[in-house]
Structure 1
Amino acid sequence: MFANAQALINSYLGEATDIPRIVTTVPKDRPARFVRTIRTGGFMANSVTDVARLTVECWAEKKADAQDDAQQVRAALLALRGTTLSGVKVHRVEEIAAPADSPDPDSTTPRYVLTHEVHLRGTYRKA
């Protein structure tokens, strides 16, 4: 059994950064500043390790603020190695894509996007 990686990471980012809103879905009424995490894939490395590929979008009214938030998220994610989140051990964190300037195509709202793989220990159960 594996934990919900998005929920774990959102909770952690809410504590580890000064970003006011961390979500998994873009709010209908978009706040001026927020971060969205999306599980964009991953794989089961073995019977007790889930590798969650998470893409993080950092939205803000100003490009510099979106970039600053992306750097905060990047540092927080890279600091996770060897820690435990709500009883779930984080074995490793790998950067797949560094923060990239990627404004929202519909609204042109400033947005930075980054992707990391977070290796999380699950619970092994014999069949």
Structure 2
Amino acid sequence: MAELLRYGNHLSAIQAALSTPLAVRIAVIRVPNPRPTKFVLIEPSGGSDESIVHGWRSVIVDSWGASEAEAFDLALDVEAHLKALRNERLKSVLIYKARPSGGIVWMPDPDAKVPRFRQNYEILTRSEAI
């Protein structure tokens, strides 16, 4: 039998990378209830393998704010911090780098009518033997 390889929880790693520098709630998968005025939401959106031990993990990152300007500034901060990730181990996940897949997109919440900007990222990470 071949060696078993497993990728770590990249969502938790990204949450850890953004929590301290952004000083806002970084939610994973679900919008928090009650909804904060300003926060970031991270959701998985697929990925692919680069090699036997390297994989690109895709994520959607939404930045919410009380105004369009506040939400956009938060999206710019998210972009800066994700693009700065280089060879960091966060929550036991080795992240080599993060790259945007497209740019920052205006996508207001249609139900709550709340300002929101969306970004798509690919995270290059390494699997571990289990």
**TM-score using structure 2 length:** 0.87
2:25 maps to what in 1?
A: 21
Task: After superposition, give the CA deviation of every residue in 1:52-93 in whole Å (9 maximum; x if it has no partner).
Answer: 101100111111110011000000000002222234322232
| Paired positions, count | 124
Inter-partner Cα distance in structure 2 for 1:87 and 1:64 = 35
Extract structure 1 runs of 4+ deviating beyond 4 A. Answer: none
Task: After superposition, give the CA deviation of every residue in 1:84-111 in whole Å (9 maximum; x if it has no partner).
Answer: 2234322232210211111011122000
Inter-partner Cα distance in structure 1 for 2:97 and 2:31 = 28
Residues 59-70 of structure 1 correspond to what in structure 2 (within 5 A)?
59-70=64-75
Q: Which runs of 5+ in 2 are unaligned?
A: 1-5
Q: Which runs of 5+ in 1 are unaligned?
A: none
Inter-partner Cα distance in structure 1 for 2:61 and 2:103 = 10
| Percent of aligned pairs with the same amino acid | 29
Confirm or deny: 8 A CA contact 1:48 1:124 kept in the other structure: no
What is the CA distance between 1:122 and its match in structure 2?
A: 1.4
Q: CA RMSD in A?
A: 1.4
1:41 maps to what in 2?
A: 46
**TM-score using structure 1 length:** 0.89
Secondary structure of the corresponding residue to residue 27 of structure 1:
coil
Shift in alpha-carbon separation, 1:30–1:86, aligned structure 2, 3 A: closer
Identify which range, 90-99 or 56-65, moves more after superposition.
90-99
